[in-house]
């Protein structure tokens, strides 16, 4: 596990806020896309790309890199924004999201952009891809130190294929596979408790022979500790259930499933008029940035 100092946490929280602002700007420029998931997963992506992953933005195909597989591809604005902030491509290109001819498509296309490991879109398939990669790596190099991180949504767990993958990975005891579930409690049609209840989720995953942890998905220290523990498990794959707040950082959007698939300017108007949604969202995030305080060593 990599240690997180107070300065590290401060820097990561500031970066996550910058990435959230980029997500809003991208969605507004595109006029379409998903808001809730990208905002709530910004902390996870920031911690991974700026603290956890072994990767080289200037050498995206470095053979010794860890792999990040985004299964719920519709939250790709946060992946694109994080890659740009990490130096994989210019930040200015973020404003081409979903435009004709862009490299930043509405779902990730592996061959279009450096840093993308898979093409995703059909929900439920990402974990199968990730376990295939992890299994192949173990076959090719039993002493490999690479990790394969698969990020999924909780609504995605309605898919049958993902449970087949959970079952197979547990059978293979793939210790190099770490799954992070965005447990934000929403999906496009409503709240997960109404559409397809998942609980007791931790017990189900444990029964499939996975090491299971549940954490606050916005707490950098808890996330870092959980990933460190997952890396130390050698007889099972690991899954981290990250409890998040949909649309985290924009209080007038938070916890509302209607923001799952709508960008600012096209979201529900009962709290903020559409013409004001982009401005309000950015103002909230910039105000929040001012309240992220540096550690006091006086």
Reported as type and span, the H/E element at residue 42 is: helix 42-47
Q: What is the dihedral of CA 142, 148, 150, 151, to 10 degrees?
A: 150
Provide the domain limits for residue 269: 6-290
Taking residues 142-171, what's their average pLDDT? 97
78: nearest Cα among 183, 137, 151, 171: 151
Q: Is residue 158 part of a domain?
A: yes
Does 298 reside within a domain?
no
Q: How many alpha carbons fall within 13 Å on the CB side of residue 164? A: 9
Question: DSSP string covering 66-80, please?
Answer: -EEEESSGGGHHHHH
> Which residue is listed with tokens 């990435």?
19
In a domain, 296, yes or no: no
Instruction: Please check whether residue 224 lies inside any domain of the structure.
Output: yes
Mean pLDDT of 129-136: 98
Tell me the per-residue pLDDT of 86-117, one tens digit each, with 9 for 90 and over.
999 999 999 999 999 999 999 999 999 999 99
- State the chain's mean pLDDT as an integer: 96
SS3 58: coil
C-alpha angle with apex 3: 226 to 54, nearest 5 degrees?
A: 80
How does pLDDT run across 164-210, given as a tens digit for each residue?
A: 999 999 999 999 999 999 999 999 999 999 999 999 999 999 999 99
Does 217 score more than 90 pLDDT?
Answer: yes
Q: What is the DSSP letter of 176?
A: T
Cβ-proximal residues to 208 (8 Å cutoff; 6+ apart), any chain:
163, 166, 167, 170
Span 67-79, pLDDT tens digits: 999 999 999 999 9
CATH number at residue 181: 3.40.50.970
The pTM (predicted TM-score) of the whole model is 0.97
User: Considering the domain boundaries, does residue 146 fall inside one?
Assistant: yes
Does some domain include residue 66? yes
Alpha-carbon distance of 6 to 229, in angstroms, equals 20
Could you tell me the pLDDT band of residue 1, with boundaries at 50, 70 and 90? low
CB 263 within 8 A of CB 28: yes
Residues in CB range of 40: below 8 A, 6 or more apart: 182, 184, 217, 218, 244, 245, 246, 247, 248
Residue 297 lies in a domain: no
> Looking at the domain assignment, is residue 83 inside a domain?
yes
The helix (H) or strand (E) run that includes residue 191 is strand 190-191
pLDDT tens by residue, 9-43: 999 999 999 999 999 999 999 999 999 999 999 99
Query: How many domains is the chain built from?
Result: 1
Q: What is the pLDDT of residues 242-259, one digit of tens each?
A: 999 999 999 999 999 999
């Amino acid at each position: 596990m990599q240690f997180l100092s107070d300065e590290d946490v401060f820097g990561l929280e500031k970066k996550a806020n910058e990435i959230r602002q980029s997500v809003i700007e991208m969605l507004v420029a595109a006029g379409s896309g998903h808001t809730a998931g990208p905002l709530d997963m910004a902390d996870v992506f920031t911690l991974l790309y700026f603290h956890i992953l072994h990767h080289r933005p200037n050498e995206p195909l470095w053979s010794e890199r860890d792999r990040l597989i985004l299964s719920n591809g519709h939250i790709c604005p946060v992946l694109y924004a994080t890659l740009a902030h990490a130096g994989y491509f210019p930040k200015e290109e973020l404003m081409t999201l979903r435009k004709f001819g862009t490299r930043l498509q509405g779902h990730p296309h592996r061959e279009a952009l450096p840093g993308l490991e898979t093409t995703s879109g059909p929900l439920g398939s990402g974990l199968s891809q990730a376990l295939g990669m992890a299994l192949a790596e173990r076959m090719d190099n039993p002493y490999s130190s690479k990790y394969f991180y698969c990020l999924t949504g909780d609504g995605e767990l309605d898919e049958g294929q993902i449970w087949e993958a959970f079952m197979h990975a547990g059978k293979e005891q793939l210790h190099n596979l770490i799954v992070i579930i965005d447990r934000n409690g929403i999906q496009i049609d409503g709240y997960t408790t109404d559409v397809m209840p998942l609980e007791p989720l931790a017990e189900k995953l444990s029964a499939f022979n996975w090491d299971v942890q549940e954490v606050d998905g916005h707490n950098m220290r808890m996330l870092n500790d959980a990933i460190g523990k997952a890396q130390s498990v050698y007889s099972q794959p690991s899954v981290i259930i990250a409890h998040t707040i949909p649309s985290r950082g924009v209080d007038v959007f938070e916890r509302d499933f209607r923001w799952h698939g709508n960008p600012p300017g096209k979201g529900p108007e009962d709290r903020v008029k559409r013409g004001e949604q982009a401005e309000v969202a950015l103002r909230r995030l910039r105000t929040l940035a001012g309240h992220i305080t540096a550690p006091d060593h006086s």
